[in-house]
Chain A
Amino acid sequence: NAGVMQNPRHLVRRRGQEARLRCSPMKGHSHVYWYRQLPEEGLKFMVYLQKENIIDESGMPKERFSAEFPKEGPSILRIQQVVRGDSAAYFCASSREPASNQPQHFGDGTRLSIL
């Protein structure tokens, strides 16, 4: 049973380019969470999605960032016009149910570097 798959593992972009990060949840999981980890810091919640719906995007920057989880295919975190401050590790997690006692399973992350 494959775990949460994220790709690419490493992504390098120049300032002003777009970054697309992909996440395939565990089989049977329909709840997806994105977190960002800045260097030397803990993880910060960004967005929570179910299939075709954004449920909570209160942790997302208001501009340049967007997320989707289509009916078919992986969840996508998209960052437009990247800046140096976007350099971080982006982790996706999935769960079977939204209940707070259900653990989230994490992917290995995408490490985004902005030149």
Chain B
Amino acid sequence: GNSVTQMEGPVTLSEEAFLTINCTYTATGYPSLFWYVQYPGEGLQLLLKATKADDKGSNKGFEATYRKETTSFHLEKGSVQVSDSAVYFCALSDQGETSGSRLTFGEGTQLTVNP
């Protein structure tokens, strides 16, 4: 079955530090990969996506590259801000005959950025 493994948190950084959150996956087909962000008390917001190997998703200074050879989709940002403090979820979508595009999520990584 499909699975997603994220680096364990929590992660605490100072403002303007470099961020990496590791994500690796296992899938039977050719999945699409996503990063979602969850702010306290809210639902998940799509941060970025990549739908095929070597695609790079980017948004709001965050980037992630779909690496099929290492089955990875690591999230990076060059300079984090306090407002980036949230929980980050890596997810994959592998369309099956009956499953639509159900998402399989990692456990989430709590990021705290201090001023």
> Which residues of A does B touch, CB under 8 Å?
4, 6, 31, 33, 35, 41-45, 48, 55-56, 58-59, 91, 93, 95, 98-109
Question: Shortest distance in angstroms between B22's beta carbon and chain A's nearest beta carbon?
Answer: 15
Q: List 20 A-B contacts (CB under 8 A).
A: A4-B43, A31-B100, A33-B100, A33-B102, A42-B106, A43-B89, A44-B105, A45-B104, A55-B98, A56-B98, A93-B103, A98-B95, A98-B100, A99-B101, A101-B101, A102-B101, A104-B46, A104-B93, A106-B36, A108-B43
Residues of A within 8 A of B43 (CB): 4, 6, 91, 106-109
- In the complex, A99→B89 CA distance in Å? 20
Q: Is the CB of A48 within 8 A of B44?
A: no
Residues of A within 8 A of B94 (CB): 100
> Which A residue's beta carbon lies closest to that of B52?
A101
Q: Is the CB of A42 within 8 A of B95?
A: no
Q: Is the CB of B45 within 8 A of A42?
A: no
Question: Shortest distance in angstroms between A11's beta carbon and chain B's nearest beta carbon?
Answer: 15
Q: Can you add 17 more A-B contacts, CB < 8 Å, to A43-B103, A101-B93, A102-B101?
A: A4-B43, A6-B43, A31-B101, A35-B103, A41-B108, A42-B89, A48-B100, A56-B99, A59-B102, A93-B44, A95-B100, A98-B95, A100-B32, A100-B93, A100-B94, A104-B93, A109-B43
